[in-house]
A and B are shown apart, each in its own frame.
Chain A
Amino acid sequence: MLGLTPAEWDAVGLSLRVAGVATLVSLPFGILTGLALARGRFWGKSALDVVVHLPLVLPPVVTGYVLLILFGRRGPIGSFLEETFGIVLAFRWTGAALAAAVMGFPLMVRAIRLAIEAVDPRLEQAAGTLGAGRMATFLLVTLPLALPGVIAGAVLGFAKAMGEFGATITFVANIPGETRTLPTAVYTALQVPGGEASAIRLTIIAIVIAVGALVASEILARRARRRVAGL
């Protein structure tokens, strides 16, 4: 189909894997951070807000470089991970997933935070009078009611992860089969004479995936909204 070369299929598959892992792994953290920012009252909340939003405003190359400094094999976190768990992120697809997750995180948290803020706190209060603790209230009341926003956040994070370029190429370079994701593959194709055909094929794939993700999220969110609206 579309006459993709094996290398191009590699890039598409890798991008889906990177974006999927980045979204799934960051989602629990995104929900916790969104909850903390929406309902928490603690010292350093503004600082957390700023840190979460940094990747949105920093040049992606800078974010990638910071990741390289921290998570590189000689970086403080990177060397710890390698020595303790044998996990290497630099110049691996897992590093690409980390970069994608970091870049998508602010968008994901923003959507989740707004959704949690929109949940009527009086319902949570009612759950409390019925004997529910904080955890039960969150899992049984707040989270189900915020679900459409959580889905939207996950899709935003996934889309951002699919398209991530600057931080990825800075942190994990552009290694065919390992870190050459769809955007870096398009970029690479455009660097060689006669690569336009490959770039166009990959671009079409990117559009298809993006539209597919949007449609899927809309279906999920509609279902969740209907449930939340109690219809």
Chain B
Amino acid sequence: MTLEVVARHEVPGFTLDVAFSAGAGVTALFGRSGAGKSTLAGIVAGLVRPKAGRVVLDGEVLFDTVAGIAVPARRRRIGVVFQEGRLFPHMTVEQNLLFGRRFRSGSSGREGMAAITELLGIERLLDRRPRTLSGGEQQRVAIGRALLMDPRALILDEPLASIDVPRRAEILPYLDRLKREMRVPILYVSHAIEEIARLADTVVVLEAGRVVAAGPAADVIARHGLPSLSPSEEGVFLLATVDRTVAGQGTILRHAAGELTVPVVAAPPGTVLRVRIHARDVALAVGEPGRLSFRNRLPATVSGIAAGDGDAVTVALDVGGSPLLARITRDAVADLDIRAGSRVIALMKAVAVEGY
């Protein structure tokens, strides 16, 4: 599948001006709220009509302001899972699931129903009403409803945003399976790094209505690091390859800057992992740090110090060509005489690093 999108859209106080293309697999639209992700998803789905632009799915022009083409949403065959689920409250789960089938000639009744309800773990909910389901169950039904219309592409618009944080972990495995077992290409809108790191093949990073980075997930993560959007979650992703697992130590990963130890990951050697490193978990040392419990020590060059108020600052580092962030106090910056170009050692506790 190929999806090409060029769009310019204006609403008071906000301008969206983007161009990107996506291939098979999961394409993540990543950015903070208000960056224009959902508007962009709406343009692809046919729910938002941009001022100017062009949307092409698998060679079929769905929208083109120059040629005067605007295929309505109901004829695009793009399944949409909304943030709030939007299940029909007066219907049972089963009626919801089969809703799209009514309008698809050719696909008969319940074909594929068993496979999809099993995939999403909703086969026991068929007689229930949406209002009696948990948020996670509702979203899984919404995904099933979109899949059962036999879509050419699936848009998941912040599917986990309306679900309590602890419950999100229950759905992610289903999204993983969805990605692996269904051929349908997915446009995944999110501002949550964990979801993107786990699911995305292609990443498009949006900022204030513009694309600031786009490409294969590995490239974007390597170059851009997917900096987190909330200050408390500040951090980046590094790509590292599984080398070996050592009892009592953890899994050792290879990175251009050196070895990284993380808690044991069940992945065969050679697997490329996305390693999440929070800025607040990174300490800096000038010169050989000596005997410390920090298991991970990567030589780094300071590429900049973010201006900011408060007692702490964020130091941007370059570790073997990848970006890394460290959150340290102003006092430490002054004491160690850290400035752009300084050579330092980035220290990370093994247990503070998560590999996906």
Which residues of A pack against B, CB within 8 Å?
120, 122-123, 125-133, 136, 140-141, 144-145, 227-231
Contacts and interface: CB of A to CB of B under 8 A. Distances in A.
Contacts of A128: 47, 72-74
B84 interface: yes
Contacts of B103: 130-133, 136
Contacts of A131: 74-75, 77, 100, 102-104, 149
A132 B86 contact: no
B164 to A, nearest CB: 21
Nearest to A131: B103
B79 A129 contact: yes
Given A128-B72, A128-B74, A129-B76, 8 more contacts: A122-B86, A126-B88, A129-B146, A130-B100, A131-B102, A136-B102, A230-B90, A230-B129
B350 interface: no
B108 interface: no
Contacts of A122: 82, 84, 86
Interface in B1-59: 45-47
B99 interface: yes
Contacts of B145: 130
A125 B38 CA distance: 14
B338 interface: no
A129 B73 contact: yes
A133 B130 CA distance: 23
Contacts of A145: 89-90
Given A228-B90, A229-B131, A230-B89, A132 B99 contact: yes
A229 B104 CA distance: 28
Contacts of B90: 144-145, 227-228, 230
Contact of A133 (B74, B80, B104): B74
Contacts of B205: none
Contacts of B88: 123, 126-127, 140-141
A127 B73 CA distance: 10
Give 8 closest A-B pairs by Cβ, nearest first: A131-B103, A230-B131, A230-B129, A130-B100, A230-B89, A126-B86, A129-B80, A128-B73
Given A132-B74, A144-B90, A127 B45 contact: no
A48 B46 CA distance: 31
A141 B102 CA distance: 13
Contacts of B100: 130-131
B78 A129 contact: yes
A231 B130 CA distance: 9
Contact of A129 (B74, B84, B104, B132): B74
A126 B129 contact: no
B141 to A, nearest CB: 12
Given A145-B90, A227-B90, A129 B99 contact: no
